Amino acid sequence: MEKIPTLFIRDLTARPAHVTPTVHPDCTWVLAGEGTPTRKWDGTCTMLDTGGAWWARREVKPGKTPPPGFRALATDPATGKTVGWEPIGQSAFAKLHTEALVNCGGVEGPGTYELLGPKINGNPDRFDAHLLIPHGWAPLSERQDLATAPRDFDGLHTWLHARPYEGIVWHHDDGRRAKLKATDFPRQDRS
């Protein structure tokens, strides 16, 4: 799991930080019409590895000691935070993850999943129970809606704020990804 770049460059001097109309250089393919848009769920990222072990996404702030068994993947040069995986059993989400596995009746195999439910991030999607959704999955009606998403700054600002989605993750056939959340936009109305 690498940190997915945000479609537009962030203005880190603004409080709160938000995106600008400048496209991130690693994401120009999105504005060229490439990639499939998928729903960004507002939960927490987990992973089932090929050996059958579950992991929870974890960020470690600069100067802090990583938890035991932490597998660092990358450090953000702007914030100094290191992102990686910690064993799910020692994470704050262990009990909720166990509930989700029971509620889902298992998962389809190795990969990354979003852990969602009543005790995760305020449950903005209003799930009645904890569950795991494979990244890239959404109901057919939402996939059809996501296919209509514009690919320009102003259009995406309007489109995302007219829907209940946290955001969009575009998946390119070659493995690249780009993301954009509704909250990435400046608070003032752009109309």
Q: Where are the domains of the chain?
A: 8-182
pLDDT of residue 191: 45
pLDDT of residue 190: 43
Amino acid at 156: L
- At which residue do the structure tokens 């935070």 appear? 81
Tally helices (H) and strands (E) across the chain: 4, 11
Query: Which residues does residue 83 pair with via DSSP β-bridges, in sequence order?
Result: 59, 74
pLDDT of residue 187: 66
Q: What is the pLDDT along the chain (191 residues), one digit of tens a residue?
A: 567 899 999 998 888 889 999 999 999 999 999 999 999 999 999 999 999 999 999 999 999 999 999 999 999 887 899 999 999 999 999 999 999 999 998 888 999 999 999 999 999 989 999 999 999 898 999 999 999 999 999 999 999 999 999 999 999 999 999 999 999 998 654 44
Amino acid at 44: T
pLDDT of residue 14: 84
pLDDT of residue 188: 54
Six-digit token string for 55: 């992991």
β-pair type (44-48, 54-60)? antiparallel
pLDDT of residue 78: 79
Q: What whole-number distance in Å separates Cα of residue 115 and Cα of residue 136?
A: 13
- At which residue do the structure tokens 């996404």 appear? 57
pLDDT of residue 106: 82
Six-digit token string for 107: 């998962």
Which string of b and e fits 5-17 if b means at least 16 CB within 10 Å? ebbbeeeeeeeee
Separation in Å, CA 166 to CA 59, 84, 88, 176, 179 = 20, 22, 24, 20, 10
